């Protein structure tokens, strides 16, 4: 049996945990934007391999561990 990397990843941000460090939208600007106060906004799922790598890096760099990644099966 082989495992495959998911075709897409959907990030979810726990906004009670997020404190607006901004590491996610600095790391993965195609997936996250920031609102006027500096809190992140999810733009959508990461669907390309480059975007998937970016969103995984964003989650790993979050100092609050506020980002969860879900396999996006469509």
Partner 1 sequence: MTELKDAASPDIQVDFDIHSPDAVEKVYDTYADLRSTCPVAHSTRYGGHFVATRYDDIHDIVRNPSVFSSSQINVPDSIGQDGEMIPIQIDPPDHTVYRRLITPLFSPKRMAALEPQIRDLVVRLLDDMAGRDRVDFIEAFARELPSQVFLALMGWDIADAPRLIEWVDTMVLGVPGASEEESLAAREAAGMEVYAYFAEMIDDREESPRSGEDEDEDITQILMDGTFDGRPLTQFEILNILLLMMIGGLHTVQGQLAHSVIYLAEHPEARQEILDDPDVIPSAVEEMLRYESAICPARKVTQDVVVGDVQLRQGDVILVPFGAANRDPEKFPEPDSVDLRRDPNPHLAFGAGNHRCVGSHLARLELRIAFEELHRRFPHYRLDPSDPPVRHLSQVKGVHRLPLILGESA
Number of C-beta neighbours around residue 3 at 10 A: 5
Q: CB of 68: closest distance to partner 1 in angstroms? A: 15
Q: How far is the CB of 66 from partner 1 (least distance, A)?
A: 10
Q: Binding residues for partner 1, per CB under 8 A?
A: 19-23, 25-26, 34, 36-38, 57, 60-65
Nearest residue (CB) to partner 1, 47 versus 61: 61
| Closest CB to partner 1 among residues 7, 33 | 33
Residue 36 and residue 21: Cα distance in Å, rounded? 13
Given a contact cutoff of 8 angstroms between Cβ atoms, the answer to whether 37 and 18 are in contact is no
Pick between residue 3 and residue 63 the one whose CB is nearest to partner 1: 63
* Whole-number Å distance between alpha carbons of 44 and 30: 9
């Amino acid at each position: 049996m082989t495992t495959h990397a998911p075709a897409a990843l959907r990030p979810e941000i726990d906004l009670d945990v997020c404190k607006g460090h901004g590491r996610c939208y600095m790391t993965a600007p195609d997936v996250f934007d920031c609102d006027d106060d500096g809190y992140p906004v999810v733009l959508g799922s990461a669907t390309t391999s480059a975007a998937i790598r970016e969103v995984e890096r964003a989650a790993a760099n979050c100092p609050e561990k506020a980002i969860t990644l879900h396999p996006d099966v469509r």
